[in-house]
Structure 1
């Protein structure tokens, strides 16, 4: 019995040495998102803008909006505030909400936006790290209106996993800001 066991082991060893073992190549995740087309949204509010046709827009009270991306499990919440000699106070509140993420954020980048012709002035905040909202923005005409928005995903924050979706929606948010028109 010992001889047959040794013979079997030797046979397996010599048989397994016949082919060269090669490591498997690294695999990479490929995510493909549809090309964005945009639709102008007119609300019974003092603003209008274009939104991706991939999104579902749900108006709320006080000219607030919910822009949902069901295939990405994400929502952009937009709040509207009218200005009554309190522009600095409103902008400070919005900025305070953004910088509350500094505890968990790795980096917070602020990208200014200005369109003098349309009187649209704003900032887009890109927040890197495992935070609740990775993109926030604010836009104003500096006289009567302020819009603020924040992107949320329906999942526990894991920045490395959701970066492609963040970048896809960020492009749509930039387009939204660039197409804002005040009434």
Structure 2
């Protein structure tokens, strides 16, 4: 009986010592993305406007004074579209706002920030879109008489706001810089 008790004691002791906490899988992680400080250069166009843009962006000319600013490292593009104002400023404003609010289905929040530069007659609105929307920032600028430009950023990835947040923050600052340095010719 002593041998059976001794074997049982060894068995129970070995079970207690050998058992560890359950192994739990680690949660999915995201890469930490750090980008260099932005430096800007003047972008002169044959179109009726100029602005400053990030030196790291590659410019592609689209039709009718439109431009695509490609951020290859971030897999993103800022699209700029120009439209002349021809007694249609109300329609252009509605279209720009409609484009932004089409993302309300996926967006957690849309923050509007008005922009006014009376000295250079540049007026507009900057939209910050939070959540898993297709675009995280949009804007429009106009002189209300002749010119109207819209801008929006799109990423070449499934919209996952948490994982692309560093890139969206970086590009939002660039888009604000474009608005702030926008000048009509």
Q: For 2:74, what is the secondary structure of its paired residue? A: coil
User: TM-score scaled by structure 1?
Assistant: 0.85
CA distance in 1, matches of 2:30, 2:63: 44
Quote how far apart the aligned CAs of 1:29 are: 5.5
Equivalent position to 1:166, from 165, 168, 173 = 168
Equivalent position to 2:57, from 55, 58, 62 = 55
Equivalent position to 1:150, from 149, 152, 167 = 152
CA distance in 2, matches of 1:182, 1:28: 42
CA distance in 2, matches of 1:28, 1:132: 19
Equivalent position to 1:94, from 90, 93, 96 = 96
Equivalent position to 2:140, from 135, 138, 141 = 138
Quote how far apart the aligned CAs of 1:31 are: 2.6
Q: What's the C-alpha RMSD, in Å, of the aligned pairs?
A: 2.5
Aligned to 1:123: 125
CA distance in 2, matches of 1:99, 1:42: 31
CA distance in 2, matches of 1:137, 1:171: 12
Q: Indicate yes or no: 2:34 matched with 1:32.
A: yes
Q: For 2:167, what is the secondary structure of its paired residue? A: helix
Q: Indicate yes or no: 2:72 matched with 1:76.
A: no
Equivalent position to 2:112, from 99, 110, 113 = 110
Provide the aligned length of Structure 1 versus Structure 2: 174
Find runs of 4+ consecutive structure 1 residues off by over 3 angstroms: 6-17, 26-30
- 1:160-179 deviations in Å (ceiling 9; x for gaps): 21111111100011011111
CA distance in 2, matches of 1:161, 1:101: 19
CA distance in 2, matches of 1:54, 1:75: 12
Any unmatched runs of 5+ in structure 2?
Answer: 21-26
1:155–1:14 distance in 2 versus 1, CA, 3 Å: closer
CA distance in 1, matches of 2:85, 2:30: 48
- 1:31-81 deviations in Å (ceiling 9; x for gaps): 311000001111110001011011111111100000000000000111000
1:163–1:136 distance in 2 versus 1, CA, 3 Å: same
Q: For 2:176, what is the secondary structure of its paired residue? A: helix
- 1:107-151 deviations in Å (ceiling 9; x for gaps): 111001101001110101111111111111000011100010110
CA distance in 2, matches of 1:99, 1:89: 15
